[in-house]
């Protein structure tokens, strides 16, 4: 039996009918985005369970080899992107285990959204695109995808919400734009928002995420 990543669970007031699995950025942990749940102000008629996993602590090359919570090692964030693809593969497997755990709890895959910020957004995109069953969608914030990950995507074309800050000096917006273009070329429906901010999440972005979640989860529910 696979051991699940340690994680924080935020349950809705009534039994969950959907789930969002949210991956944090480099150097953070699952506590980083747990406070976003009340800010999303989802209606009580849409009871959503939120899962916030903790990444393992590993040496990260881009930070001088210093050990920190990370989903995979990164060597360079140039447009060519240099990362540990084997490490990303292991992280994707761990993400899929979390998805299957929610399915075993009664949440169907088309009621599960993967979300993430920065390196966690790369995790969310890569894991969702490789998952064999169609998920409800992906929320990818201030992030990127390794072009090689598009070589082994599933046949499903799930909806994707992406957002980026025009003043982002950690993940340049050019990488976000590159990712959006790659996904569009593969036939994905990408909702793209740009905000006047740095490497962060702003109030207007949270409101857009809430609207996107409500629209896609309700749409899936009524199919």
Closest alpha carbon to 84 in 108, 62, 114, 69: 62
Catalytic option among 54, 96, 156, 199: 199
199: annotated active-site residue: yes
210: annotated active-site residue: no
Q: pLDDT tens digits, the chain, 223 residues: what are they?
A: 468 999 999 999 999 999 999 999 999 999 999 999 999 999 999 999 999 999 999 999 988 899 999 999 988 776 666 777 788 889 999 999 999 999 999 999 999 999 999 999 999 999 999 999 999 999 999 999 877 777 767 767 899 999 999 999 999 999 999 999 999 998 898 999 999 999 999 999 999 999 999 999 976 655 4
Q: Please report where in the chains the tokens 């895959």 appear, as a residue.
A: 109
In a domain? residue 175 = yes
In a domain? residue 153 = yes
In a domain? residue 126 = yes
In a domain? residue 1 = no
In a domain? residue 191 = yes
Catalytic option among 118, 142, 164, 216: 118
In a domain? residue 136 = yes
CATH number of residue 47's parent domain: 3.40.50.1820
In a domain? residue 56 = yes
Q: Write down the pTM of the prediction.
A: 0.94
168: annotated active-site residue: yes
pLDDT at 80: 61
In a domain? residue 2 = no
pLDDT at 85: 79
Say how far apart CA 136 and CA 147 lie, in whole Å: 22
Q: Total domain count for the chain?
A: 1
Query: Which residue segment(s) compose the domain that 150 sits in?
Result: 7-221
Q: Reduced to 3 states, what is the DSSP secondary structure of residue 26?
A: coil
């Amino acid at each position: 039996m696979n051991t699940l990543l340690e994680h924080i669970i935020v349950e809705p007031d009534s039994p969950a009918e959907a789930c969002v699995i949210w991956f944090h950025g480099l150097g953070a942990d699952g506590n980083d985005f747990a406070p976003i749940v009340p800010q999303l102000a989802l209606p009580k008629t849409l009871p959503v369970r939120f899962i916030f996993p903790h990444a393992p602590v590993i040496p990260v090359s881009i930070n001088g080899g210093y050990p920190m919570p990370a989903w995979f090692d990164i060597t360079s964030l140039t447009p060519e992107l240099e990362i540990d693809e084997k490490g990303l593969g292991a992280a994707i497997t761990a993400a899929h285990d979390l998805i299957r755990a929610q399915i075993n709890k009664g949440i169907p895959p088309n009621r599960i959204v993967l979300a993430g910020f920065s390196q966690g957004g790369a995790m969310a995109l890569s894991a969702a695109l490789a998952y064999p069953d169609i998920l409800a969608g992906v929320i990818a914030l201030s992030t990127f995808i390794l072009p090689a990950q598009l070589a082994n995507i599933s046949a499903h074309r799930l909806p994707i919400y992406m957002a980026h800050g025009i003043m982002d000096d950690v993940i340049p917006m050019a990488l976000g734009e590159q990712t959006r273009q790659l996904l569009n070329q593969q036939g994905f429906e990408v909702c793209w928002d740009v905000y006047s901010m740095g490497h962060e999440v702003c109030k207007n972005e949270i409101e857009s995420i809430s609207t996107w979640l409500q629209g896609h989860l309700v749409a899936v529910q009524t199919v």
